[in-house]
Each structure stands twice: as C-alpha cells, then as structure tokens.
C-alpha cells in the first residue's frame, strides 16, 4: 500500500471514529406527579434541537420509559403529549388551588403546572374559576387541553445519558389522584326510597357517611322531557349551579382553611321540581352521576353513600283526593297512560251513582279535577276512574265529606 493511500485511510477512519463517538443514547421516564408507582404510558416524546427541529420521537411503554438512539451531541428540549384518557379532577383540586392562591398551601412544580389550566404559565384566580365554574358547572374543556407535561432541556456530552424524569398530569388534577391506566369511573352507592308522583315535588339528596367537607361537586341527571326544575339549595351554602339539557351541575368550595360541618341527617341538596304538562305518568328518577364527590381538607375524596326519592305511580293512575277528609272543595289527580275518553264518577257507600264528575276525551299525562261537595251529605263516598282507549284503566278511591 502506498504511503499516501495509507495516510488517507487513517484520516477517514479517525473521522468515522469521531463521528461515531459524537452520538449517544438517551433513556428517560415519564411519571404522573413524579410518583414512581404511576408511570404514564403512550406518551409521544419529541426531541427538539436548538433550531426547533424535531430530530426523533418515541412512545413510552407501560412502565413510562422511552429511548432515543444515535443522538448527536448537542443541546435539546424534550416534550410530551398523549391522547389517553385524562381524569382525577374534583372540587378538592379547586380547594387546594384556593388555599395556594391565599398563600396557605405550597405547590410542587407539577402541581403548579396542573393548576395552570388556561396555559398562561402560572396558576391564578382565573384558573380557579375555570375549574369551579367553567369545567365542573358549565362542562367546558380546559383551554390547555386534557393533559400537561413538563419540558426538559439538557446538553449531551457523554456516550449515554439518563435525562431527568419528566412529570405529567391531567390538567386540573392538582392533588394527583388519577391513575393513568384507569379508564372507568368507580360506581357510587345510591339508595332510592319510593314516593307517590305528584304535580309538585321535592328531591332531597342525602350524603349519609360524611360529617365535614371542604369541597363538593355533584352532577345529577333527570328526565328533562317530563320535569321542570325550580329552586336548588345546598346545606353547605350558596353553590355554583347550572341546569341544562337534563343535567343539574353543582359545585361548592369552602373558602376557608378548614372543613365545613355536614349534618348527615339533613339533605345535602334540595331540588324543587314540577311535572310538565306532557308528563306521561312514568317513574321520575333523578340519577347521581359517578363524577359526584366530596373532598376533605387535603383535597382527597371522601367515600359517601347517597339516598334520594324515586317518584312513581306505584301501578296506580288515580291518586287520593287532597285534602281528605274535606269540607267544601278537594282535588282529584289522575294520570292517563295514553289519549282516551275519561269518565270519573262519584258513588255513595251503597254503590249508587251520585254524580258524574267528568266524561270526555283527554290527552295523556297528569290531570287535576277540582270537586266541590256542595249539596252532598257528609259521609263516605267512592270515586272511580274509567278510561276507554288503547290503555284502559279502572280504579277506585274513597273520599270522606265532613260538615
């Protein structure tokens, strides 16, 4: 081999060696709120150089790890994003935000990031009201999106680099209760007590197991087509409230550095409601959504059982007249399962017809028939409902007239 050729080969090999040595491997980890037992899977990690060019991407595995190979020496920024389900946000997070903004609670860097739901770089009162009103009451998404991740910047100078662990969080989950692999909300414990349907009624919702709370969030669905919602009151104080599209959304945060006393013997919520004119006589059921919750002074969830009424006709279309006994006037209420001809007649205790109270065609739904006993003797009477249509009904109730 000629000396010049040998020298050129040495130069090329040296250059190749330098080139190979100028590349390295990057290993990293993404954790939820920096908790070792909460790795975040399916995070797309992007490695960006100082010119803003993404030179490599990788996706975290089930253990939250990722790897970049053959990365040239230099300075980089690491970012993450994911499309997996987010969650864990409660009014307990809003309570911690309130304490932080009042300088009563210090955030970690990941908590500060999670609280910054509008994405302006810091947690402010705007973020607090975005959680309390915009997200929970109005159902609006967070401006920053469902997830937020720290950015990590570093310089590569060695053959293998373990970059600092990156923290991530569901936006708004300040206390970090969410588990990234959890998709379904837990079931809640609800007991119903049966009551007779009426034109106006009140739904009393009890939280049976708690004696104090710092925050509350409730989502209650109801049959919007059959029910009008009136006043909604809360044992804890004036709540933030929205009633729309068959949902009642209520949030409350105690604006003190303490828990408020809860009396489990009193309803946590009272909802006044009335039947719409097209009410068809079916059951009226208010359902507590699994997102409903209470939080303690640490922002942690409190296990709770709920109790509320289920309004039903109980198989009866004809209601007891009210008042009863009565002197003068009373009202007979009845529900028609379908449009039909209706006859309501009054009989004495010997089964003799005394009076036809109504006879004619009526629409399906709840009806009220005023009745005056003028001209009738005091005593026991019976009134019978008969319908003639696709859903025939025959029912009888007793009334007592006094003097």
- Residue ranges of the domains in the chain? 91-145, 189-312, 329-401
- The answer to whether residue 310 scores a pLDDT higher than 50 is yes
pLDDT at 122: 95
Q: What is each CA distance from 228 to 11, 247, 396, in whole angstroms?
A: 87, 12, 29
pLDDT bin (cut points 50, 70, 90) of residue 181 is low
Q: What is the mean pLDDT of the chain?
A: 88
CA 363 to chain centroid: 37
Contact predicate 117/143, CB 8 Å:
yes
Euclidean distance between CA atoms 297 and 177, whole angstroms: 15
pLDDT at 334: 86
pLDDT single digits (tens) 80-92: 999 998 999 999 9
Contact predicate 383/377, CB 8 Å:
no
Max Cα distance, the chain (Å)? 137
pLDDT at 9: 45
**At a CB cut-off of 8 Å and minimum separation 6, what does 275 contact?**
197, 198, 199, 200, 201, 226, 227, 228, 284, 366
Euclidean distance between CA atoms 230 and 221, whole angstroms: 14
pTM of the model: 0.71
**At a CB cut-off of 8 Å and minimum separation 6, what does 198 contact?**
275, 311, 319, 333
Q: Which of 191-195, 291-295, 324-328 is least confident? A: 191-195
Contact predicate 117/86, CB 8 Å:
no
Q: Which of 57-61, 94-98, 311-315 is least confident? A: 311-315
pLDDT bin (cut points 50, 70, 90) of residue 392 is confident
Contact predicate 272/202, CB 8 Å:
yes
Q: Which range in 116-125, 318-327, 336-345 is most confidently predicted, on average pLDDT?
A: 116-125
Nearest to 263 by CA among 208, 317, 183: 208
Q: Tell me how far apart the terminal alpha carbons of the chain are, to the nearest angstrom.
A: 134
pLDDT at 12: 42
pLDDT at 344: 96
pLDDT single digits (tens) 237-294: 999 999 999 999 999 999 887 789 999 889 999 999 988 877 777 788 999 998 899 9
State the residue for tokens 């109270």: 357
pLDDT single digits (tens) 353-387: 999 999 999 988 778 899 999 999 999 999 999 99
pLDDT at 249: 96
Count Cα atoms within 13 angstroms, Cβ side, for 94: 28
**At a CB cut-off of 8 Å and minimum separation 6, what does 117 contact?**
127, 130, 131, 135, 142, 143, 144, 171, 172
> Taking CA 69 as the corner, what is the angle to CA 64 and CA 75, rounded to the nearest 5 degrees?
90
> Taking CA 131 as the corner, what is the angle to CA 127 and CA 132, rounded to the nearest 5 degrees?
115
- The answer to whether residue 201 scores a pLDDT higher than 90 is no
- Whether 329-401 and 189-312 are alike in CATH topology: the answer is yes
At residue 100, the 3 state secondary structure works out as: helix
pLDDT bin (cut points 50, 70, 90) of residue 20 is very low
The architecture CATH gives domain 189-312: Sandwich (2.60)
**At a CB cut-off of 8 Å and minimum separation 6, what does 19 contact?**
none
Euclidean distance between CA atoms 397 and 325, whole angstroms: 12
- The answer to whether residue 19 scores a pLDDT higher than 70 is no
The architecture CATH gives domain 329-401: Sandwich (2.60)
Contact predicate 28/66, CB 8 Å:
yes
């Amino acid at each position: 081999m000629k000396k010049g050729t040998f020298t050129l080969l040495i130069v090329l090999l040296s250059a190749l060696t330098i080139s190979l040595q100028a590349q390295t491997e990057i290993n990293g980890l993404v954790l939820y709120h920096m908790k070792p037992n909460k790795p975040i899977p399916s995070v797309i990690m992007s490695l960006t150089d100082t010119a803003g060019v993404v030179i490599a991407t990788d996706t975290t595995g089930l253990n939250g790890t990722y790897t970049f190979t053959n990365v040239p020496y230099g300075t980089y920024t690491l970012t993450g994003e994911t499309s997996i389900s987010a969650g864990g946000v409660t009014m307990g997070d809003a309570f911690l935000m309130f304490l932080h903004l009042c300088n009563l609670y210090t955030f970690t860097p990941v908590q500060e990031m999670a609280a910054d739901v509008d994405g302006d770089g810091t947690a402010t009162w705007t973020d607090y009201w975005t959680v309390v009103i915009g997200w929970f009451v109005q159902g609006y998404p967070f401006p920053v999106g469902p997830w937020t991740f720290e950015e990590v910047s570093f310089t590569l100078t060695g053959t293998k680099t373990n970059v600092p662990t990156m923290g991530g969080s569901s936006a708004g989950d300040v206390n970090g209760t969410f588990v990234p692999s959890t998709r379904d909300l837990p079931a809640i414990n609800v007991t119903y007590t049966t009551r007779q349907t009426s034109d106006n009624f009140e739904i009393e919702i009890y939280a049976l197991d708690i004696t104090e709370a710092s925050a509350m969030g409730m989502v209650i669905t109801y049959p919007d087509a059959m029910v009008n919602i009136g006043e909604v009151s809360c044992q804890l104080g004036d709540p933030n409230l929205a009633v729309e599209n068959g949902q009642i959304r209520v949030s409350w945060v105690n604006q003190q550095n303490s828990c408020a006393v809860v009396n489990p013997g009193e309803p946590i919520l009272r909802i006044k409601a009335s039947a719409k004119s097209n009410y068809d006589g079916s059951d009226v059921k208010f359902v507590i959504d699994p997102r409903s919750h209470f939080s303690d002074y640490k922002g942690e969830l409190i296990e709770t059982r709920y109790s509320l009424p289920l309004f039903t006709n109980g198989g009866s279309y004809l209601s007891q007249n009210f008042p009863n006994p009565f002197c003068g006037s009373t009202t007979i209420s009845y529900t028609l399962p379908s449009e039909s001809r209706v006859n309501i007649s009054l009989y004495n205790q010997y089964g003799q017809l005394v009076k036809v109270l109504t006879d004619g065609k009526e629409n399906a739904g709840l009806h009220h028939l005023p009745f005056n006993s003028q001209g009738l003797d005091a005593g026991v009477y019976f009134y019978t409902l008969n319908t003639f249509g696709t859903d025939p009904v025959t029912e009888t109730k007793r009334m007592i007239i006094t003097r």
